[in-house]
């Protein structure tokens, strides 16, 4: 009989409370965790198993809004354990090891997943300790490590972290998480493209005029100011989420849906993104900072940290040559939504308005990632009446109506289950991490330096600095959003 | 100052009451009739102008359900006149001529449109009389004739009728009406195809597996039994409506939307429909007759008139080689609806179910002509949950929600206005009439004869004889309908 240990480093932290424990609770309820799986928390806070269980009962209800009774929690928390300690304490890590061995008993295989739900500054310490104590040795079962973002804070630190990881773990044991990839609608990008015959023939420079990816938040840095001011929007959103979405939209069709096929095609896209020469990035990128950001708690009063960004990227492949990919994301923006917009070319010939030179309503396909999960296809239709006046209208699909009886599961449920199953399809391989940092590195140049990009102020609840609009206007285009109109 | 006369032959008939007068009433209300336009009814029923106006007031309310007050009708009917007489009476036709000249006075041009809303057996008489009395001479203005279907009852009679028409009118004066072409959603077939860039690249044998056109009625022959038994479904529906829809779906893009460009492209399609050799039609056509038809009033007790038909046609062009077009229509069927279904090919490679040989959910585009006017696009999407299970869902567009404030106008409004404006785009040219009869002629062979097609019984409220299903099953396909699911 087998045993599995799910070890959470940073077991009392925000992520554990808000995401990990609720996801594990739901997976247990659905019977989707391995048999004999224990969750073992490790953190500095002093706790016994009992006090940790109680503390987490309160926490998941308060922080995550989990609907759970005391009895239900008790049934779940029977498998919840706690070991107090510091990651850099060899003895405490040996405590953890002993506890795991005790829980595993004679069951074999005895598999262990280590989840780094800790500050990025502690990653190297944790990995070193796992190596030093032998916790990572695959003697009695598999050992896997899940690493939260940010994975490094630039190319150099990412290379170094990958190096450290690789001294203790093989790449196939490493699960770099990007929770965006666990979202249903993000996974559906692949299904949409490759389980249908009609989109792929259009999905190239012959028919696509441009692609736009918007991931917009309305929240400000708020009480995460101290963290955010060290991070900024490029590290927080672009290097990971936006480039991953871009890769899914732009990749060539893989031959199978397995992890290596998918990740090979994704790295191909990232590698093909045109490099900016020094000083060139400012022609293709607009950084912004919302007004009032410098007064947020924990933010430097003269902070130059960007809170919004708009980018123009090119993918130098046969498929995408000359097709701009516009990306934008930020905090304190006008609307909370994530949307991929594929704007198609104009009809080559305008038989209904031959006198007009204007491109009347090119087709637009919008993949609505959130909150109105679904898809819109904008097309021209005849306005009911005499003549042949046309007007753009949308065909729409909404998850809500198609899957009424089926809640969209949380991204973390999917990802934790995949990690436990050893499926790395939705996790980031080391080469992707490094290539993504290579892409965004020019955006990280000091704003005052020779190759820096100015950080422009913008009003809260706007779509960022005016220059973000100009970026597209230069190309006779404009930002499009069609998902928000409904619901 | 100009004058226009809209002359209705058969002015007291069903079509005049149900369609023509209501359409003219609405057009007048919208200010879309020419200035100084008089409507002049001609029929055998004895009426004065006054009694005709009164009779039609009652008729349009009772027969067409037109919402009109006596005062509103009076304002409209001021321009409504009546001349009693027989079409074959030279004197009565001269009465009509004198009346028109009186109404026109000295206004020039004085244009005249003659609407043949009479039994097809009287067409030749009417046209001969128009010729003999000089009513059709374009001396003071244009003269046009609108001819209702059926235009002939087979190739021979259609050729003859075209011949008779051409002795009195030039082709450009002749407006052969097919009210289906006046329907908004039928006109939209052109806009959908040619005002959008994304459908045309898919609209060919590389991506289309098959096309299906269903025009289904639930009504029986009812009190039209005597007429219907002489006509049958092939003459009533296929020769005109279904082949016209087929032509719009299959035509090459015209360079302009003018009448000759459109009609040239349509005739190209009809000419390219593969000819059936004698005896071959029965392999591609299924005729049906609903149970109980022979007991309808006016129907022969041993009638072999078909009331339903299902066809497989091929269009021998570069674009459509090998793509079957399935057509079906009939009375007493399960549902009242008209729908064009384009079923696309399967994805060439199944990365999400490599072990399966089955074509999982090929894409389906449905153009919903009526009653739920709109469009559906069926595509595969990921089922929310673990794994990569996919499921077909529909993107949908509905006229009702897109054009809330805009009623879909009646087909006749569009067509009458076009005829008055001299725009023949939506009318059938003589060569189309003849080619359509050529196509359906094999279906008209006597069922008992050497090349006849058996007429199979079917239950009312079914989809016709089982053989109509087998026709597609032979090709490993089945009839599809997706529009009916909503609304």
B448 confidence band (pLDDT: 50, 70, 90): confident
Instruction: Please determine, for residue B310, whether its predicted confidence score (pLDDT) is greater than 60.
Output: yes
HEC assignment per residue over chain A: CCEEEEEEECCCCHHHHHHHHHHHHHHHHCCCCCCCEEEEEEECCCCCHHHHHHHHHHHHHHCCCCCCCHHHHHHHHCCEEEEECCCCCHHHHHHHHHHHHHHHCCCCCEEEEEEECCCHHHHHHHHHHHHHCCCCCCCCCCEEEEECCCCCCCHHHHHHHHHHHHHHCCHHHEEECCHHHHCHHHHHHHHHHHCCCCCHHHCCCCCEEEEEEEEECCCCCHHHHHHHHHHHHHHHHHHHHHHHHHHHHHCCCCCCCCHHHHHHHHHHHHHHECCCCCCCHHHHEEEEEECCHHHCCCCCCCCCCCCEEEEEEEECCCCCCCCEEEEEEECCECCCEEEEEEEECCCCCCCCCCCCCCCCCCCEEEEEEECCCEEEEEEEEECCCCCCCEEEEEEEEEHHHHCCCCCCCCHHHHHHHHHHHCCCCCCECHHHHHHHHHHHHHHHCCCCCCCCCCEEEECCCECCCHHHHHHHHCCCCCCCCCHHHCC
Instruction: Please determine, for residue B487, whether its predicted confidence score (pLDDT) is greater than 70.
Output: no
**pLDDT in the model for residue A359:** 75
Task: Check CB contact under 8 Å for B383 and A393.
Answer: no
Instruction: Please determine, for residue B405, whether its predicted confidence score (pLDDT) is greater than 90.
Output: no
Instruction: Please determine, for residue B187, whether its predicted confidence score (pLDDT) is greater than 60.
Output: yes
**Mean pLDDT, residues B123-130 taken together:** 97
User: Smallest Cβ distance to B397: which of A184, A207, A394?
Assistant: A394
User: Smallest Cβ distance to B395: which of A344, A397, A407?
Assistant: A397
Could you tell me the maximum CA-CA distance found in chain B, to the nearest angstrom?
Answer: 84
Place of tokens 């050799």: B277
The β-bridge partners of A394 are A378
Tens-digit pLDDT profile for residues A451-482: 999 999 999 999 999 999 999 999 999 999 99
B485 confidence band (pLDDT: 50, 70, 90): low
Bond preceding residue B40 cis, omega within 30 of 0: no
Place of tokens 């009389």: B129
Task: Check CB contact under 8 Å for B352 and A194.
Answer: yes
Tens-digit pLDDT profile for residues B429-440: 999 999 999 999
Task: Check CB contact under 8 Å for A347 and B385.
Answer: no
Q: Which residue in A62, A32, A10 sits closest to A413, CA to CA?
A: A32
Disruptive mutation site among A197, A390, A400 for chain B (greatest number of B CBs within 10 Å) = A197
**pLDDT in the model for residue A181:** 95
Quick one: tokens of A329? 């994301």
Tens-digit pLDDT profile for residues A104-133: 999 999 999 999 999 999 999 999 999 999
Instruction: Please determine, for residue A206, whether its predicted confidence score (pLDDT) is greater than 70.
Output: yes
**pLDDT in the model for residue B406:** 80
| CB of A218 less than 8 A from some CB of B | no
Sign of CA dihedral B93, B94, B97, B98: negative
Sign of CA dihedral B421, B425, B429, B433: negative
Q: How many helices (H) and strands (E) does chain A have?
A: 16, 15
**Mean pLDDT, residues B52-80 taken together:** 96
| CB of A417 less than 8 A from some CB of B | yes
**pLDDT in the model for residue B366:** 97
A350 confidence band (pLDDT: 50, 70, 90): confident
**Mean pLDDT, residues B244-270 taken together:** 96
Instruction: Please determine, for residue A48, whether its predicted confidence score (pLDDT) is greater than 90.
Output: yes
| CB of A397 less than 8 A from some CB of B | yes
Tens-digit pLDDT profile for residues A235-274: 999 999 999 999 999 999 999 989 999 999 999 999 999 9
Of chain B, the percentage scoring pLDDT greater than 70 comes to: 99
Nearest CA in chain B to A365: B198
A33 CA to chain B: closest CA distance, Å?
13
Identify which has the larger pLDDT, B362 or B286. Answer: B286
A485 confidence band (pLDDT: 50, 70, 90): low
Instruction: Please determine, for residue A90, whether its predicted confidence score (pLDDT) is greater than 60.
Output: yes
Interface of A with B in 372-391 (CB under 8 A): 375-377, 379-386, 388, 390
Catalytic residue among A47, A241, A284, A376: A241
Could you confirm whether A284 is annotated as catalytic?
Answer: no
User: Smallest Cβ distance to A352: which of B32, B195, B402?
Assistant: B195
Disruptive mutation site among B191, B363, B389 for chain A (greatest number of A CBs within 10 Å) = B191
| CB of B407 less than 8 A from some CB of A | yes
Task: Check CB contact under 8 Å for A397 and B396.
Answer: yes
pTM: predicted TM-score of the whole model, two decimal places: 0.95
Instruction: Please determine, for residue B486, whether its predicted confidence score (pLDDT) is greater than 90.
Output: no
A358 confidence band (pLDDT: 50, 70, 90): confident
Could you tell me the maximum CA-CA distance found in chain A, to the nearest angstrom?
Answer: 84
**pLDDT in the model for residue A353:** 79
Rounded to a whole number of angstroms, the distance between the first and last alpha carbons of chain B is 49
The per-residue pLDDT of chain A, averaged, comes to: 95
How many residues are given for chain B?
A: 487
Tens-digit pLDDT profile for residues A147-161: 999 999 999 999 999
Task: Check CB contact under 8 Å for A386 and B346.
Answer: no
Task: Check CB contact under 8 Å for B394 and A397.
Answer: yes
Measured in degrees and rounded to the nearest 5, phi and psi for residue B252 equal -75, 160
The β-bridge partners of A309 are A287, A329
């Amino acid at each position: 009989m087998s045993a599995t240990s799910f070890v959470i480093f940073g077991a009392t932290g925000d992520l554990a409370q808000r995401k990990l424990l609720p996801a594990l609770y739901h997976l247990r309820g659905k019977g989707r965790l391995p048999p004999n799986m224990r969750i073992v928390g490790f953190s500095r806070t002093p706790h016994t198993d009992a006090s940790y269980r109680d503390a987490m009962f309160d926490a998941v209800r308060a922080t995550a809004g989990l609907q759970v009774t005391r009895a239900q929690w008790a049934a779940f928390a029977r498998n919840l354990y706690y070991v107090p300690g510091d990651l850099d304490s060899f003895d405490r890590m040996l405590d953890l090891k002993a506890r795991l061995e005790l829980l595993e008993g004679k069951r074999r295989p005895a598999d262990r997943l280590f989840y780094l739900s800790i500050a990025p500054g502690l990653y190297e310490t944790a990995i070193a300790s796992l190596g030093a104590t032998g916790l990572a040795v695959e003697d009695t079962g598999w050992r896997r490590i899940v690493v939260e973002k940010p994975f490094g804070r630039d190319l150099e630190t990412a290379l170094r972290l990958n190096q450290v990881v690789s001294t203790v773990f093989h790449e196939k044991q490493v699960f770099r998480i990007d929770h965006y990839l666990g979202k249903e609608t993000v996974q559906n990008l692949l299904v949409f493209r490759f389980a249908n015959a009609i989109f792929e023939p259009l999905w190239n420079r012959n028919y696509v005029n441009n692609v736009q990816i918007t991931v917009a938040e309305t929240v400000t840095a708020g009480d995460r100011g101290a963290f955010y001011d060290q991070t900024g929007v490029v590290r927080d959103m672009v290097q990971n989420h936006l480039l991953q979405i871009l890769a899914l939209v732009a990749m060539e069709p893989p031959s199978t849906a397995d992890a290596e096929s998918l990740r090979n095609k994704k790295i191909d896209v990232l590698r093909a993104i045109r490099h900016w020469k020094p000083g060139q990035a400012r022609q293709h990128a607009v950084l912004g900072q919302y007004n009032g950001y410098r007064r947020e708690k924990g933010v430097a009063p003269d902070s130059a940290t960007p809170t919004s960004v708009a980018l123009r990227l090119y993918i130098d492949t046969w498929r995408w040559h000359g097709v701009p990919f516009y990306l934008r994301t930020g905090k304190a923006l006008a609307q909370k939504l994530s949307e991929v917009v594929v704007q198609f070319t104009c009809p080559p010939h305008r038989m209904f308005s031959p006198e007009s030179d204007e491109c009347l309503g090119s087709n637009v396909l919008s993949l609505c990632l959130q909150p109105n999960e679904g898809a819109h296809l904008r097309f021209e239709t005849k306005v009911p009446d005499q003549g042949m006046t046309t007007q753009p209208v949308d065909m729409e699909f909404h998850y809500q109506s198609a899957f009424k009886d089926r809640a969209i599961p949380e991204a973390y449920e999917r990802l934790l289950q995949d990690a436990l199953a050893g499926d790395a399809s939705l996790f980031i391989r080391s080469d992707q991490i490094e290539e993504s940092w290579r892409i965004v590195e020019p955006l990280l140049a000091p704003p005052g330096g020779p190759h820096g990009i100015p950080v422009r102020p913008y009003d809260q609840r706007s779509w960022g600095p005016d220059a973000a609009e100009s970026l597209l206007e230069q190309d006779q285009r404009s930002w499009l959003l069609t998902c928000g109109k409904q619901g």
